[in-house]
Amino acid sequence: MRSPLSSFLHYSENSSRGILTRDQMEEKYKWNLADIYNSDSDWEADFKWVETNILRYKEFERKLSSDPELLLACLKFDDVLSSKVDRLYLYAMLAKDSDMRVTKYQGMDDRIKSLYAKASTASSFIKPELLSMDEQILMEMINENKHLRIYKHAIEDLLRTKNHTLTKELEEILALSGEIAQNPYNTFSIFTNADIKFPVIKDDEDNNVEMSHARYYAALYSKDRAYRERAFKAYLIPYKSYVNTFSVLFNGNLKTNIFYANARKYKSAREASLNKNNIPLSVYDNLIDAAGKNLAPMYRWAEMKKKILGISELHPYDVYVTLFEDADNKKYPYDESTKIVLNSLQAMGSDYLNSLKTAFENRWIDVYETQAKKSGAYSSGTTFGVHPYVLLNWTDLLNDVFTLTHEMGHNMHSYYTGLTQPYTYANYSIFLAEVASTFNESLLLDFLISKSDSKAEKLYLLEKYLNNITSTFYRQVMFAEFEMQAYDRTEKGEALTQDVLSKMYKEIYQKYWGPAMVVDEEEEFTWARVPHFYYNFYVYQYATGFAASQVLANLVKNNGKEYIEKYLNFLKAGSSDYPINILKKAGVDMNSPEPVLAVTKKMNEILDEMELLLNQ
């Protein structure tokens, strides 16, 4: 069993507004769940089938090594049952998210999660039994049976982890500790989201407002610099006040992951985390090294920001404020925006464009906000035998157009993977997930800039491009370097007190923004508020994905039709090979500095164009 929870991609929060009810919304703007099940009763029938057939796993237990045909039957049965669970989960989730007040779908969502847990428990014997077999005999069974050969890469990947898999008894103990291991993050999450009280300050209209997470992010875009500074300092006061508590939680998380890495005989927590997808440590090292040697565009952007803002010092609360407004305040209706996305992706060829049109024209997308619909945006990922879906909450803003092309990048990745791969490989790792989405965004930005007919609009778009690079690439590399240093120092026996953590974060922040930046004392405590530091070497993948997408976008723009087939093969690969190999076949070597250099080159080109426009 693989978790259906891992398939759903790119969720982001928006504020909710009560508007039309579900029934009042035109059908063409609502996703068509009949493509999954014609009715709730059909869902119930499949649910009953899974519930009944879970017992069949017992037929295979302790017998997998006896007969290749029995092994094949077990793996095929697991595929069938797992794909039904995925399908059940998709329908229940989308139905629930359509209107979160409907208790029926809340109940269905809860039921399928419980059923997944039962199926996962029933099938949990498969991997240990395969690992307990003589490796040579197992591979002979696979190589001599053409139907078993489909599973060869999956089993080789399993065997790759054999040295890090413990005895059944020890694995059970580690499994039992799983819930306890979540305590550092769970405590951090409840503390930062529910218990912390922020001070009251004057906003940019002289109103008294209590600072909050949402108000903080909104304030950083305000043109009122004094308000930005007040919001920045007020927001970080609680993290400074409770820094010893956050230090204990942060260290608890580090030591938890180090414990699991040591228990499984890895050399480090970083090796343990990257090994899940067979990512060499050199990829992580190369990312930080290459980015660190190519910070000149960041320094240039910081100096330019300072100049445009007319300030003598750049502070952390100045980095997000919008320098150029969309002077025309354009609106982007959804139907027109689908045409913009299609036009921006013309280089992708007819096959990709026709697949995209199919999604637009056949209700794969839930477009507008309706009462009690889930906020934000996501792509449902690959569900075998069913096309992927996208949730939006459209407001006619340019950001919605970017969200659409981003999510359709995920959608097409999932669609081609599901269309091409057998169930075993009809998914893809997080390491690859953000490549196709940011690839689409890059082509959209290039298209919009080329079509912009005013200086103001072009500057606005160029700034958006630079902010994408800053936040999606450089900021994530900065976080990755901080995380690496924190683990390295802990594994060497150093004590990471709050003073050490704050000093380390300040030095890294200064490194990435350069001499133009004055790092306020409050910024030193930012490490305490970042939830991604509890995700165990996760953030670097945002940066690698973004960098890889820049190389792929350049290959498409420079080679056209000659390269499209390679890119489509990347979308079709799923998990049929290791992520590093899949990218390499597509033309990206993540062990080289080339992807980072592609980002820095693009950033310099945008800065050149911006300077040219400003000097006109």
What are the catalytic residues?
Answer: 407
Which string of DSSP letters, residue by residue, matches 61-95?
TT-TTT-HHHHHHHHHHHHHHHHHHHHHHHHHHHH
Distance of CA 359 to the CA centre of its chain: 22
Distance CA 511, CA 44 (A): 57
Residue found under tokens 């800039």: 449
Burial of 313 (0-12, 13-18, 19+ CB in 10 A): exposed
Q: Which of 310, 303, 305 is nearest to 323 (CA)?
A: 305
Stated as kind and residue range, the H or E segment containing 11 is strand 9-12
> What phi-psi label fits residue 265: left (phi over 0), alpha (psi between -120 and 50 degrees) or beta?
left
Q: Which residues pair with 209 in a beta bridge?
A: 201
Can you list the alpha helix ranges (DSSP code H) found in 492-539? Answer: 498-513
CA distance 148 to 210: 61
Closest CA to 314 of 297, 295, 294, 300: 300
β-pairing, 208-210 with 390-391?
Answer: unpaired
Rounded to whole angstroms, how far apart are CA atoms 233 and 354?
50
Return the exposure string of 292-302: e unless at least 16 CB atoms fall within 10 Å of the residue's CB, then b.
eebbebbebbb
Q: Which residue has the tokens 């006061």?
A: 237
β 9-12/377-379 pair status: antiparallel
- Which of 300, 371, 324, 278 lies closest to 575 in space, CA to CA? 278
What element of type H or E holds 378? strand 377-379
